[in-house]
Amino acid sequence: MLDTDSNSTSFHQKMMQSRRHVQMGRLLKSEHLAMLTGGGSVLMHAGFTEVAAARVREVSIIAFLCFLWITISRILRFRLQQKTTLYRPTLLTSGLILPAVCLAGLPLVAALSSTGHRFDALLLWVEVILATMAVTSLLTAIRQLAARTHNSAILLVGSFLALITVGTLLLKHPMCRAKPETPQDGTPAAVVSTVMETPWDVALFTATSASCVTGLIVEDTDTYWSPVGHVVIFCLFQIGGLGILTFGAFVAVLSGRHGMQFREARTLREVLDAESVHGSRRLLVTILLFTVSVELLGAVMLSGLWADKPMGQQMWFSLFHSVSAFCNAGFSLNPGGFDGLGSRWQVWGPLSWLIILGGLGFPVVHDLWTWLRRRWRHDHATPLFRKAGIRPHLSLHTRIVLITGALLLVTGAFLWFVLESLPRVNASEIEDREVAVVGQDASDENIPEFIATPPDGSVTTRMADAWFQSVTFRTAGFNTVDHQEQHPATKLMAIFLMFIGAAPGSTGGGVKTVVFAITVLNIRAVLKGHSRVEVYNRCIPATQVARSLSMIALGMFIVMGTAGLLVIFEHKPHLFIDLLYEATSAFATVGVSAGVTPDLSLPSRVLICLVMLLGRVGPVTMLLAMAAPRDGGHYDYPEERVSLG
């Protein structure tokens, strides 16, 4: 009789538990529907449709009702989860923090607002919280996808596509567009509102450039976008520089007791190229601490560049440019960037080192930190343990990155100084000569001669400019000179440096310094008759050598193909060197420009967006994402030699 009662009780508990799980699933689906409806209402009310012209209150009330239902649903799910024995949530992990903050802030918002607009202020506060909840839900969905997917390449490409899509929608918002000055000629208000609308191609291009930390722009960042637009661009290149997967993992580490799941950590290990799953967690902590410390320190050191501005604007400008430099984004709030400021110590010093540190790669930073810590312990150990222990050393990857990067920086600065010291002809003089040639015989003595002009600036100024251009050519996107006026030989040298790019695992693009170094080492091995690539008493695996050569070949195909298509789309074959400059800058996510990007046609802008995305995720990663899975058969065909010339 007791067994029957216990079995009946157990069956009843299982039925109740199953019913609770079904109820929680239905509540979760209703939350997703309410989130989509509320998010659409917020966007509609903020200005995406004509409804915003009248600021219809009903749209905002719909958003409030959606928020209210999400709050009630989360409270019900919280109570149902507490009754289960599988998982007992906390307030932090149940998603009730933001609703609690909203409800707690309602009295304060009502007190601070005026009597006539109190209800509108409350609705606006709810909309802000609802938008924050939508962003948090998006990051949570990406984390869950990272924990379930088996192809990190598809996840990486998809995360950047999602970031670009969200950024485009936000930049399309009228609040992100700077308000034009009030016309004095009696222009109708309808015309002014039409001018304020951001075209889709401008929003897409800017969002792609910021998410892929490129820096190419079709409109001036400082004048075209409002302060809200500046904040959106800032968030895009901060998230895009670190990677949305890494950024989502930050939220996982800082938000709750669960942290990262094993499969999520495994996916992050593949993205960060860490040695192990445990190593990916340690590398993530290193990235977090290093990024925050360097960006804040850089902001403090750059503050002197805007000493004439108010304190609040000075802090914002310093933080914006510090993060932009560390993420190698190249976006600037200064008109003309840093043109003419190359001799300022904040530019050739802290700004340059922010770019260099961001381009080293997080695995190198982690290895350097580990090496310094072990070196300090080894030097301060007792003589007995010092002799018995193994002396700490840097990994082969770190050595190659540091040495290759130093050689490229020094060589680039030297070549830029030499090439820009040569006499050259101004573009205006070439145009005058072309005008004079029209309608005259080529042998006419009246045709004006080219007048070679000496380089501008003192030797120290040109040395500072040479150093900064060598740094920024690698993937930063800032400028202290007009790149359009550079010598053609300098542009070719810059294309070479941009094509190489930064180190693997960094915020920069290009084919990467390690790939370039392995290719050079492979050439040296071939010339010496060696069958393997050896460096520092180590042998590079043949698979990595083959992959490096493939990345070089793919990069060349992409850059040359893009330049050819730009020539066809723009019908300007005489600007081939400048279009090749833009194509390489887009592929390597550098952002420097020869001045042709703002005038590109719509097909060229779409092409540049595609190339920027391809350069950010890497051509090999994109191919792996699109490639079909292999069958299970493993076999080798017979070898046969071919002639190589």
CA nearest 367: which of 400, 326, 322? Answer: 400
pTM, to two decimals: 0.74
Tell me how far apart the alpha carbons of residues 46 and 68 are, in angstroms, rounded to a whole number: 19
Kindly state whether residue 432 falls inside one of the protein's structural domains. Answer: no
Query: Which amino acid appears at position 265 of this protein?
Result: A
Could you count the other beta carbons within 10 Å of the beta carbon of residue 423? 11
User: Cα angle at 381 between 376 and 386, to 5 degrees?
Assistant: 100
Query: Which amino acid appears at position 367 of this protein?
Result: D
Helices 619-626, 542-570: axis angle to 10 degrees equals 90
Please indicate whether residue 366 or residue 269 has the higher confidence score (pLDDT): 366
Q: What's the pLDDT score for residue 440?
A: 52
Helices 262-272, 277-302: axis angle to 10 degrees equals 60
Q: What's the pLDDT score for residue 75?
A: 81
Kindly state whether residue 346 falls inside one of the protein's structural domains. Answer: no
Question: Per mean pLDDT, which range of 70-79, 347-356, 559-568 is the poorest?
Answer: 70-79
pLDDT class of 450 with cuts at 50, 70, 90? very low
Residue-wise pLDDT for 496-539, tens only, equals 999 998 888 777 788 889 999 999 999 999 888 888 888 888 89
pLDDT higher than 60, residue 560? yes
* Domain end residue (candidates: 109, 130, 148): 148
Residue-wise pLDDT for 367-410, tens only, equals 888 888 777 776 655 555 455 556 667 888 889 999 999 999 99
pLDDT higher than 60, residue 309? yes
Q: For the chain, what percent of residues have pLDDT higher than 70?
A: 68
Question: Per mean pLDDT, which range of 235-244, 251-260, 401-410 is the poorest?
Answer: 251-260
Q: What's the pLDDT score for residue 580?
A: 92
Residue-wise pLDDT for 570-589, tens only, equals 888 888 898 999 999 999 88
* Domain end residue (candidates: 99, 129, 148): 148
pLDDT class of 258 with cuts at 50, 70, 90? very low
Kindly state whether residue 78 falls inside one of the protein's structural domains. Answer: yes
Kindly state whether residue 565 falls inside one of the protein's structural domains. Answer: yes
Could you count the other beta carbons within 10 Å of the beta carbon of residue 634? 6
C-alpha gyration radius of the chain: 29
Q: What tokens appear for 131 in the block?
A: 């938008």
Q: How far is CA 235 from the centre of its chain?
A: 9
- Taking residues 32-46, report their average pLDDT: 75
Confirm if 176 and 232 have CB atoms less than 8 A apart: yes
Q: What's the pLDDT score for residue 426?
A: 54
Q: What's the pLDDT score for residue 67?
A: 81
- Taking residues 219-228, report their average pLDDT: 87
pLDDT higher than 80, residue 215? yes
Mean pLDDT over the full length of the chain: 75
Kindly state whether residue 180 falls inside one of the protein's structural domains. Answer: no
- Taking residues 281-307, report their average pLDDT: 81
Q: What's the pLDDT score for residue 41?
A: 74
Please indicate whether residue 271 or residue 120 has the higher confidence score (pLDDT): 120
Kindly state whether residue 533 falls inside one of the protein's structural domains. Answer: yes
pLDDT class of 634 with cuts at 50, 70, 90? low
- Taking residues 96-124, report their average pLDDT: 69
For CA atoms 339, 340, 346, 350, the dihedral sign is positive
Query: Which amino acid appears at position 382 of this protein?
Result: T
Kindly provide the b/e burial profile for residues 528-544, where b requires at least 16 CB atoms within 10 angstroms of the residue's own CB. eeeeebebeeeebeeee
Q: What's the pLDDT score for residue 290?
A: 82
pLDDT higher than 50, residue 195? no
- Taking residues 40-51, report their average pLDDT: 60
Tell me how far apart the alpha carbons of residues 161 and 67 are, in angstroms, rounded to a whole number: 27
CA nearest 405: which of 504, 510, 513? Answer: 513
Q: What's the pLDDT score for residue 49?
A: 46
Residue-wise pLDDT for 140-155, tens only, equals 666 566 556 555 566 6
pLDDT class of 192 with cuts at 50, 70, 90? very low
Kindly state whether residue 291 falls inside one of the protein's structural domains. Answer: no
Tell me how far apart the alpha carbons of residues 415 and 470 are, in angstroms, rounded to a whole number: 9
Number of domains in the chain: 2
Q: For the chain, what percent of residues have pLDDT higher than 90?
A: 12
Please indicate whether residue 440 or residue 424 has the higher confidence score (pLDDT): 424
pLDDT higher than 60, residue 633? no
Q: What tokens appear for 357 in the block?
A: 């540190």
Q: What tokens appear for 111 in the block?
A: 């007190």
User: Cα angle at 592 between 586 and 595, to 5 degrees?
Assistant: 100
Range of the domain at 517: 366-425+455-626
Q: Kindly write down the DSSP assignment for every residue of 566-593, as one continuous string.
A: HHHHHT-GGGHHHHHHHHHHHHTT----
pLDDT higher than 50, residue 622? yes
Kindly state whether residue 16 falls inside one of the protein's structural domains. Answer: yes
Please indicate whether residue 320 or residue 169 has the higher confidence score (pLDDT): 320
Question: In whole angstroms, how far apart are CA 217 and each of 54, 222, 330, 422?
Answer: 33, 11, 10, 30
- Taking residues 31-53, report their average pLDDT: 67
Q: What's the pLDDT score for residue 389?
A: 53
Please indicate whether residue 77 or residue 487 has the higher confidence score (pLDDT): 487
Tell me how far apart the alpha carbons of residues 530 and 533 are, in angstroms, rounded to a whole number: 7
